[in-house]
């Protein structure tokens, strides 16, 4: 049997054992994937709590540790599908707040979340997002990930490039004191990206949430305390 961990209400873990047999029409790789899903405590807990994905627990953990989400905030969720982070955000910011989400893939509607199918790389995407926000954002979250090639260095560069684009946009729409969080890969965040973040934010850190699979190279860069734009602060009013 395969032994994994089970999430409990107090954040502790216990044991959970499930074994999957390889069916005649199922490949070994798909069997391994299915076994991992069945033995993943965060997948089970997400289903139990009605969350769209296990990724929701990554944001929940970061918010619990660093106090990112507060009532009344405006939050932008880049790469929102299937909606786990938007679910967590809208619950935290409440009816007086606002959550705007975009992705290449459509999602089932989430009450209170203004979502649209959009390619963040489209030329008109920044202007469209500014209109959707209707003012400055208190947080920009990016769980965007480029399709992997299997070549570690190439995949690392692709995901850092997305993070760089996201932070460039974040500096145009964030309110003073806002936060930015983006997915990167272990192996070193590019120097230019870290330099910009440290210049524009008071605190920059790397975070590996417990909900990130131990064998995954996934990592998040979290920047808090936005110092404000260096252009005219009157460009966007709250």
pTM: 0.78
Residue spans of the domains in the chain: they are 2-39, 56-226
Annotated catalytic residue: which of 5, 130, 183, 208?
183
> What distance lies between CA 171 and its chain's CA centroid?
17
24 is catalytic: no
Average pLDDT, consecutive stretches of 10 residues, N- to C-terminus, the chain (238 residues): 44 44 48 45 77 88 97 97 96 97 96 96 95 97 77 74 91 97 75 86 93 78 91 48
pLDDT of residue 20: 42
What pLDDT sits at residue 58?
Answer: 93
CATH homologous superfamily of 56-226: Vaccinia Virus protein VP39 (3.40.50.150)
Reported in sequence order, the residue ranges of the chain that DSSP labels E, i.e. its strands, are 2-7, 13-18, 74-78, 98-103, 113-117, 137-142, 174-185, 201-207, 218-226
For position 27, what pLDDT does the model report?
56
Which pairing describes strands 201-207 and 218-226: parallel, antiparallel, or unpaired?
antiparallel
Per DSSP, the residues of 21-69 read ---TTS-HHHHHHHHHHHT-HHHHHHHHHT-S-TTHHHHHHHHHHH---
The pLDDT value given to residue 146: 67
Sorted by sequence, the CB contacts under 8 Å of residue 135 that are 6+ apart come out as: 74, 236, 237, 238
**Cα–Cα distance measured from residue 110 to residue 29, given in angstroms and rounded to the nearest whole number:** 33
């Amino acid at each position: 049997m395969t032994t994994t961990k089970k999430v409990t209400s107090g954040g502790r873990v216990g044991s959970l054992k499930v074994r999957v047999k390889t069916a005649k029409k199922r490949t070994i790789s798909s069997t391994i994937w299915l076994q991992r899903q069945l033995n993943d405590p965060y997948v089970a807990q997400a289903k139990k709590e009605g969350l769209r994905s296990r990724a929701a627990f990554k944001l929940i953990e970061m918010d619990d540790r660093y106090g990112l989400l507060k009532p009344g905030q405006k939050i932008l969720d880049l790469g929102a599908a299937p909606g786990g982070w938007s679910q967590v955000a809208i619950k935290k910011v409440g009816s007086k707040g606002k959550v705007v989400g975009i992705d290449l893939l459509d999602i089932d509607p989430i009450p209170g979340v203004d979502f649209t199918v959009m390619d963040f790389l489209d030329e008109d995407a920044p202007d469209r997002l500014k209109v959707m926000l209707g003012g400055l954002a208190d947080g920009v979250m990016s769980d965007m990930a480029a399709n992997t090639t299997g070549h570690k260095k190439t995949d690392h560069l692709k995901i850092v490039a997305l993070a760089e684009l996201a932070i460039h946009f974040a500096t145009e729409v964030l309110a003073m004191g806002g936060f930015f969080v983006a997915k990167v890969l272990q192996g070193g965040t590019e120097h230019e990206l870290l330099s910009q973040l440290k210049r524009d934010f008071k605190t920059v850190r790397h975070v590996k949430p417990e909900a990130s699979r131990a064998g995954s190279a996934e990592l998040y860069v979290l920047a808090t305390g936005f110092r404000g734009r260096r252009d005219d602060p009157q460009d966007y009013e709250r």
